[in-house]
Amino acid sequence: MNHRLGSTLLELLMSITVMMVIFCTGGRLFAEAFATVHGAIAREEGSRHISMAVDRWREALNQTHSSEWRIEGVTFFTSRDRVRMDGNLLVFGDSTGNGGAISLPADTGCRFSVETDLEGARFAVMDLSVPCREAGRTRTNSVRIVACGRRQP
């Protein structure tokens, strides 16, 4: 009778060990899947906000002429609007104080410039440096947004 009790106890310990391995493996797979889904959602939201920034940037410059553009520090000015990066917010405003802000992914960098093509036409550039975390690594993606003003009559 003691022999049967010993083997039953051993079987119980083995089954507990096997169950713990199964539960730990399942928990780890769930955590990895959750992190992957969470990361994908964050990237999609960041992409959507960058798309909104592209539209707003082009809208701000569409009705202005390149001679009206100037950059002072981290702020881009047109004759009626201004654009600046404040933390992770891309802030758009006009001379009356009206405007809005678009939240970009954390640690996004922004740089403005005015460039000239081979034919002498000027265009405004907003360079965004967007950090992206994938598979435990962080890399920086560059987004170059080009906008042209209206042509002079």
Tens digit of pLDDT for each residue in 85-138?
Answer: 888 888 888 767 677 888 888 888 889 999 888 888 888 899 988 887 766 677
- Predicted confidence at residue 19, as pLDDT, reads 93
pLDDT confidence tier of residue 1, bands split at 50, 70 and 90: very low
> Which two structure tokens, joined as six digits, stand for 41?
């959602």
């560059």: which residue's tokens? 142
- Predicted confidence at residue 80, as pLDDT, reads 82
The answer to whether residue 5 scores a pLDDT higher than 70 is: no
Q: What is the mean pLDDT of residues 58-78?
A: 86
Higher pLDDT, 152 or 139: 139
Residues 100, 104, 106: CA angle, nearest 5 degrees: 135
pLDDT confidence tier of residue 153, bands split at 50, 70 and 90: low
Distance of CA 151 to the CA centre of its chain: 33
